[in-house]
Amino acid sequence: MVKIFFNLVKRNFLKDKVLNTLSLLGLSLGLTASALILLFVDHELSFDTFHADAKNIYRIEAQTNSPSWSSNLGIEHNRELISGKYPEVESIVEVINSNRIFLSFLDKGFWESNVKLVAPGSDFFHFFDFELIEGNRQTLLDVPNAAVLTKSTARKYFGESPAIGRVLKYDTQLLKVTGVIADLPTNTHLSFDIIYTNGTAFTQDHYHADSYIKLSNNVLPETMEDKIMAMEGVAEDEFHELTDVKLLPIADIHFKSQADFGSGASGDMLQLSIFMVIGLLILLIATANYINLSMAIFSSKSKEVGMRKVLGESKSGITKSFFLESCITIFMTIPLALLGLGLLLPKLNQFMGLNMENKFLSSPTYWLISVLFVAVLSFATIIYPALTLTQSKVSTLLKSKVSIHSSSGIKLRNILIFFQFALLFTLGISAWFMNQQISYLDNKDMGFETENIVKITNAYELGEIPDYYLFKNELKRSPQISGVTFGPMIGDGSDPLAYKPEGQNEIFENLLSYGVDVDYFDVMGIEILAGDFKNTLNSADSGQVISVVNTRFINDLGWQDDPIGKKMILRPGTENELNRKVTAVFKDFHYFSLKEKISPQIISLKIDPDFINTNILVRASNNDLKATVEAIESAWQKIQSDVPMQYEYMDDAVKRLYKKDKQTGQITILFSLLAVGLSFLGLTGFMVYMIGLKSKEIAVRKVLGATLLQVIALLNKQLFTLILISAIIGSALSFLLIDTWLQDYAYSIPLRPTTFVLAALIVYMIVFLITSLQSLKSAQLNPTNALKNE
């Protein structure tokens, strides 16, 4: 009996092999894409949930005398929390994010930028359950200068040899390796390659560290927030007094952290939500395609059902048979989808820099989801044709294949066609706008020149200001160099400063402030719009500060007509209050990404700077950046031979700001285009089916003298009415989707109605081409063949 059933399934599949192949291919592609998106969403939502005590671990985030939130709080409040006065607190871990350091072992040396510091005896590895490969978890960080490395970092220094007991040299310190952990999963905000103990950093009167607190079971975080805010006489000075505090669950840091400084908070829930919507739309399109084509296939079984009823088979038996046949057909897509996942998941991991696993192979939950999906889709596929065919009379079923194509069946298929094409227009137009926004990010004028600039990121290693000028003069003698300066640049970050402009009582807290040298504007190609700060600087006294501000600053204050000479007070009302005067105005440039609006900025200059500020920026005189870097490294070695120079190209630094956005956007576009392709695949299959139904009508019309265009119009008239309506609705939905997505960007492309119309017309023309080609094939067939078959 089983063998007979499977032979029947095989025969039915081969009978409509074109439609069955198209439906299986479309469903398999849709399932693969949806599964990839599901795995990505699961990865993003699982950040730091793998720690055993995750529900009791929080990070302390707070505001002090600045509007910015930070997790890099001073130690004062932590000392109070672990003083024994608060039984709700089990433990606290403080983590300092280190600057880039240079480590060496024998003849091997590497710059390490992903480094964290903890105090000797830290409970770090009791808080966080990272997989231990070598060492004793209980004693990993007990002693000063103990280092724990990730597996890939240990292999970089020691190859396949054991790492325990080896010693790494850092400046004058010797770090002894006490443990090796597995490379960290990508679903944690605590990214590091090396973590080591440093007793000195944690013995100062005041320092900043990410503060993690473990509360006892059933203790509400709000309770501890109130107690922390109620602490008196704890803050060291006015800059460390808390104005607000929040205990953020560790699992929420990825998406919900408000901290401008500190680890994590790289997640974007809006982007992820749109990604989820696209995944759902792809799944809906794929299933709508499959149901539509499968309904057509099952509806052609009228004679088969009629014969089975004649032979005495019950209605329930026929329905069960249909259901099993549908299940078997859908199960055929599972191996295809798993094969697609096996091929594409590693590529997605590589592209996104993740290490997602295929949970469809390892997780019982995912197995259950797959089985339920097959069952639900099988039921949805056969419910209408099964009810229609089993309720029809035997005489009607055996009479003709045309008889069971009821008006209600046509209406249902039209609804499915309308539904999938509304989604098609939504995703197709959205993908077009996403591509335009990504292109906009690549080509937006940032307000400064990014090409041919080398950014030395470890400028502080060069030495003092005299060393900088020796280095600068050496570089200026090279024909490869056209300019040298120091100062921060896009992506470096900065804490906003409070200021009070003259003539106003209001104190503003959004001013970016930093220092540069005199050549900063020339090297970076930033235009000076008013004032002559160079002459003022050259005639200034030693220690005198010259201030220049950006256009946004003077526009916000209404100083456009006469900004030069206007005064302001920085940090008003504090011990560090400063008086400044506008000497010049420079054109706005983007200090942060295009997700943030340009902020008011003040740049300070002195004839005799006290120290090098952040980076050394070198402009090449030509496009030969390799020769430029060699010239810079040669000059560096003459002054600082102990520490290698670290650098990056400015245009790479700018691109890095949008790396994740571009990755997510490109993947979103790719999946959207896949959904478009699935819709066109379903349309092709549907047209093959409809032409088969109308083969006799087409033949009769041709015999009666109908032209080719008349036949094409016959086949497309009703379909195009549906597609036109779906284009209007899909355009409206895509506008809502893209408008929501673009809210993440302070600077974005405009959403012009004409663009939506044009995009809809392009998709409409592609649909017209597909349907016309299929209609043309039918119209060119010999009508005698169709009439003979009937």
pLDDT of 64 over the 80 cut: no
Do the Cβ atoms of 614 and 486 come closer than 8 Å? yes
Q: Between β-strands 208-215 and 72-74, what pairing exists: parallel, antiparallel or unpaired? A: antiparallel
pLDDT band for position 401 (cuts 50, 70, 90): very low
Instruction: Output the CA angle 590-596-599, nearest 5 degrees.
Output: 60
The yes-or-no verdict on residue 128 having pLDDT over 90 is yes
The CA distance from 614 to 628, in Å, is 21
pLDDT at position 620: 92
Greatest Cα-to-Cα distance within the chain, rounded to the nearest angstrom: 109
User: Beta-carbon neighbour count of residue 289 at 10 Å?
Assistant: 28
Give, rounded to a whole angstrom, the gap between the first and last alpha carbons of the chain. Answer: 33
C-beta of residue 447 within 8 angstroms of C-beta of residue 526? yes
List, in order, residues 6 or more apart from 512 with CB less than 8 Å away.
494, 496, 497, 591, 599, 600, 601, 602
- Based on C-alpha coordinates, what's the Rg of the chain? 34
* pLDDT higher at 740 or 300: 740
68-102, pLDDT tens digit by residue? 677 776 677 888 888 888 889 999 999 988 877 88
d(CA 47, CA 44): 6
* Average pLDDT score over the chain: 81
Could you tell me which residues come within 8 angstroms of residue 476 by beta carbon, excluding any fewer than 6 positions away?
484
Residue 77, SS3? helix
pLDDT value at 548 more than 50: yes
Of the candidate ranges 205-209, 356-360, 491-495, the one whose mean pLDDT is the lowest: 491-495
How far apart CA 474 and CA 483 sit, in angstroms, is: 11
Residue carrying the six token digits 């919507």: 277
221 has pLDDT over 50? yes
Distance CA 345, CA 355 (A): 9
The answer to whether residues 142 and 220 touch, using CB atoms and an 8 Å cutoff, is no
DSSP 241-306: --SEEEEEEGGGHHHH--EEESS-----HHHHHHHHHHHHHHHHHHHHHHHHHHHHHHHT-HHHHH
pLDDT cut 90: percent of the chain above it: 24
Task: Name the residue with higher pLDDT: 61 or 18.
Answer: 61
pTM: predicted TM-score of the whole model, two decimal places: 0.76
Q: How confident is the model at residue 773 (pLDDT cuts 50, 70, 90)?
A: confident
Residues 6+ apart with CB under 8 A from 721: none
Closest CA relative to residue 550, chosen from 523, 514, 517? 514
* Range with lowest mean pLDDT among 442-446, 707-711, 731-735: 707-711
pLDDT band per the 50, 70, 90 thresholds, residue 610: confident
- Per-residue pLDDT, 157: 93
More confident residue, 235 or 399: 235
**Distance of alpha carbon 664 from alpha carbon 268, whole angstroms:** 10
Give the number of other Cβ atoms within 10 Å of residue 355's Cβ. Answer: 14
Structural contact between residues 202 and 119, judged by C-beta atoms closer than 8 angstroms: yes
CB atoms closer than 10 angstroms to residue 597: 11
pLDDT at residue number 123? 92
pLDDT of residue 119: 92
CA angle 27, 33, 38 (to 5 degrees): 120
Name the packing angle between helices 269-299 and 364-391 (round to 10°).
30
pLDDT at 766 over 70: yes
Mean pLDDT to the nearest integer, 92-118: 87
Residue 662 above 50 pLDDT? yes
Beta strand 146-150 with 194-197: parallel, antiparallel or unpaired?
Answer: antiparallel
Lowest mean pLDDT among 111-115, 260-264, 486-490: 260-264
> Is 534 or 241 the better-scoring residue by pLDDT?
534
Q: 417 near 333, Cβ under 8 Å? A: no
Tell me the average pLDDT across 177-187.
Answer: 94
pLDDT confidence tier of residue 393, bands split at 50, 70 and 90:
low
Residue 787: its pLDDT value, please? 53
Cβ neighbours, 10 Å, residue 400: 12
pLDDT band at 437 (very low <50, low <70, confident <90, very high): confident
Q: Which residues pair with 725 in a beta bridge?
A: none
Token pair listed for 643: 């520490």
Question: Does the pLDDT value for residue 5 go beyond 60?
Answer: no
Does position 586 have pLDDT exceeding 90, yes or no? yes
**Residue ranges covered by each domain of the chain:** 1-46+268-405, 54-267
Looking at the DSSP bridge assignments, the partners of residue 546 are 605
What's the pLDDT tens digit per position in 296-336?
666 666 666 666 666 666 667 666 776 777 777 787 888 88
Is the model more confident about 221 or about 417? 221
215 - beta bridge partners? 89
Give DSSP secondary structure letters for 345-405.
Answer: HHHHHHHHT-----HHHH-HHHHHHHHHHHHHHHHHHHHHHHHHHHHS-HHHHHH-TTTT-
Q: Is 201's pLDDT higher than 60?
A: yes
Spatial distance between the Cα atoms of 726 and 719, rounded to a whole number of angstroms: 11
Question: What per-residue confidence (pLDDT) applies to 726?
Answer: 82
Higher-confidence residue of 309 and 460: namely 460
Q: Which residue has the higher pLDDT, 747 or 784?
A: 747
If you count them, how many residues does the chain have? Answer: 790
SS3 212: strand
- pLDDT-derived band at 404, boundaries 50, 70, 90: very low
636-656 tens-digit pLDDT: 998 888 888 888 888 888 877
**pLDDT (0 to 100) of residue 403:** 40
> Mean pLDDT across the stretch 431-460?
84
Res. 6: pLDDT tops 70: no
The pairing of strands 567-570 and 578-586 is antiparallel
The whole-number pLDDT of residue 206 equals 64
Nearest partner of 645 among 655, 657, 630, judged by Cα = 630
pLDDT of residue 151: 95
* Alpha-carbon 163 to chain mean position: 35
pLDDT at 47: 93
Give the side-chain half-sphere CA count within 13 A for 184. Answer: 22
- pLDDT value of position 713: 73
Phi, psi dihedrals of residue 22, rounded to the nearest 5°: -60, -45
Give me the pLDDT at residue 132, please.
Answer: 94
Residues 707 and 721: their CA atoms lie apart, in Å, by: 22
pLDDT band of 392, cuts 50, 70, 90: low
Per-residue confidence (pLDDT) for residue 786, from 0 to 100: 53
Quote the pLDDT of residue 782: 63
